[in-house]
Structure 1
């Protein structure tokens, strides 16, 4: 081999060895496409693409048990590695509190980042006769069997609790309203559009883009005050006389088997990303509101929230 060719080969090798390690990231969505979980992973993909330093983000859908299948797969090491993130929501934490993930504990996974907060909402089709919560609840009280509510999960789920609390404020027992258990926000909106259900209990971020198309009318958001942006004209449940507030954190966790150094690396990635004003824009575009917490602070927050949910569920007779 000629000396010039050898030098060229060595230079190419040195450049390749010095190139930064580019990650291939997997984001697991523990639900079917179309809901808030899906939107959170898609937001991550956009943020990491803008931040650089990672490869393409692959979205993997792993529905089942409102997050239980994905949780079990990661904890058991059937899925997940140092570059696999799983999105979670407040509903995931509620399921943990109620024992719907079996004997799972908050310590079974590594909590990486809370990236935004969402709020519950109650919605109907755009051509529905009901224009506010009072009209809807009057219809349910008059003929409970005529109105079907679509929601993720079953009795005791986050979406069920939202509707049950509102119904309770109107003097309607939770067992009086009919509901259909669905798998994720995407299924709920599909069932609403198809006329299989007349009402859905879900998350505000999932409904925002449907408003622009005129397909959905949101009767109430379950926030302390009206939400900015596309939902600013939607009244809160409190405004309508039903004192129910339901915040929903959204974020990511990792396998418990991930090495400490890899976990810390991801915490630092999120700390850096969320300090960038561009992250606020992506979060807002995803229908989420400001919330940023990582590492130990998030782990403590999750533990406190799960304990609070468990106490509330015990008071409602949902768990022992």
Structure 2
């Protein structure tokens, strides 16, 4: 009896020891159902990013004081004030070639560097599509992060001009194209030119016959208009505010899909005048082409949050910008659509590649 009890006791000890050894061995191997501490959701892609860890540089492909420079500096100021980005943000100006110089410099640097950002506008698309284009690169060589602002084109005449609406202007241009001088602050095939040519084409005018004079910037074009050297100019609506308030100009039409508010509320759109055309002048933020996925997500989320802050809304109002925020697939789709529109206008001008 005693021997039997001893045998059972030793058997129990042996089983317990074997089980302990087995568990110890299993503890050295992690099963698929046991996520790591950095992967508690079981998906490494969802682990929290530690970006950013050092200063960030935003390239504005314009000179200091230009629209892109102003936008980039407003962006860095608001991101800092709201503590959405705690690392230093600086703006680097790379003017030249209607944004082409800055783009080439940006694209040809490290395509994976997440601490470089680029802030262009519509010429990013235009320069790549023109026959005499000055850029082999497009938005496809970058990572679109967000559209930040939107503005619209406008056809403007002097306050004492005989033209009261777009149709009256276009009737004269149809009858005798060279009798009307149309001007803009950019070269033929560039933004101001397209702002004018788009409604003209839709109104049935041969754009190649239009007398278009280009000036070095919207300020010079406005001076030409007020000085009597142009009958009308194509420009951005935000740049007309002070002249409109002073009673110096009349805006015949805006390229927006619907009427704007505030000081521009009485100005009809192209569409209201039976001209089926609209054009958005945008500014947006991009990263290098091979930007890491977690960094793209960081910027999309951060910029979305920033776009809803009071600080950003005040910056928009102070500069006469519209909040045109778009990110992700929505922004990419917008770029594709505008590329198709610009291609159509350039073909009508015989200026497409």
Output the TM-score relative to the length of structure 2.
0.69
1:132 to 141, 165, 174: 165
> Which of 189, 197, 203 is the matching residue for 2:236?
203
Match 1:69 to one of 97, 101, 109: 101
Cα distance, 1:212 vs structure 2: 2.7
Alpha-carbon separation, structure 1, partners of 2:346 and 2:295:
35
Gaps of 5+ in 2: 1-51
Task: Write out aligned runs for 1:7-86 (5 A).
Answer: 26-32=57-63, 36-52=67-83, 53-54=85-86, 58-77=90-109, 82-86=114-118
Number of paired residues? Answer: 301
Cα distance per residue 1:42-85 (max 9 Å; x no partner):
43244224323457765544333322111111112299965543
Aligned CA distance change for structure 1 residues 58 and 126 (closer, same or farther; 3 Å): farther
3-state DSSP of counterpart to 1:226: coil
Distance 2:156 2:270 in 1: 12
- Residues 31 and 184 in structure 1, CA contact (< 8 A), matched pair in contact too: no
Corresponding residue SS for 2:120:
strand
Q: Could you tell me how far apart the structure 1 residues matched to 2:184 and 2:246 are?
A: 21
Structure number with the bigger relative contact order (C-alpha 8 A, sep ≥ 6) is 1
Q: Greater shift after overlay, 94-103 or 119-128?
A: 94-103
Alignment CA distance shift 1:83-1:307 (3 Å): same
User: Aligned partners of 1:110, 1:143: CA distance in 2, in Å?
Assistant: 46
Q: 1:314 deviation in Å?
A: 4.3
Shift of 1:105: 3.9
1:291 aligned counterpart, secondary structure: strand
Q: 1:235 to 1:296 in 2, by over 3 A?
A: closer
Q: Structure 1 residues 229, 27: closer, same or farther in 2, change over 3 A?
A: farther
Q: In the alignment, what sits opposite 1:14?
A: none
The separation in 2 between residues aligned to 1:23 and 1:247, in whole angstroms, is 34
Task: Give 2:136's match in structure 1, choosing from 90, 103, 106.
Answer: 103
Match of 1:92 among 124, 128, 139: 124
Query: What corresponds to 2:182 in structure 1?
Result: 149
Describe the superposition over 1:79-127 as per-residue Cα deviations: whole angstroms up to 9, x where unpaired.
9965543322234223334473543243311222111322221112345
Q: Quick check: 2:198–2:345 contact (8 Å CA) kept in 1?
A: no
Q: Deviations over 1:118-165 (max 9, x none)?
A: 222111234544333234334545654454322244443333233223
Where do 1:207-286 residues align within 5 Å?
Answer: 207-256=240-289, 262-286=295-319
Distance 1:301 1:169 in 2: 21
Compare CA radii of gyration and give the structure with the larger one. Answer: 2
Report the Cα distance in structure 2 between the residues aligned to 1:79 and 1:150, rounded to whole angstroms: 38
Q: Deviations over 1:3-33 (max 9, x none)?
A: xxxxxxxxxxxxxxxxxx8975554433456
Q: TM-score, normalised by structure 1?
A: 0.75
Q: Which residue of 1 aligns with 2:325?
A: 292
Is the Cα contact below 8 Å between 1:24 and 1:54 reproduced in 2? no
In structure 2, do the counterparts of structure 1 residues 206 and 235 end up closer, same or farther at CA, with 3 Å as the change threshold?
A: same
Once residues 144 and 69 of structure 2 are traced to their aligned partners in structure 1, the CA distance between those partners, rounded to angstroms, is 18
Give distance in 2, aligned partners of 1:281 and 1:108.
32
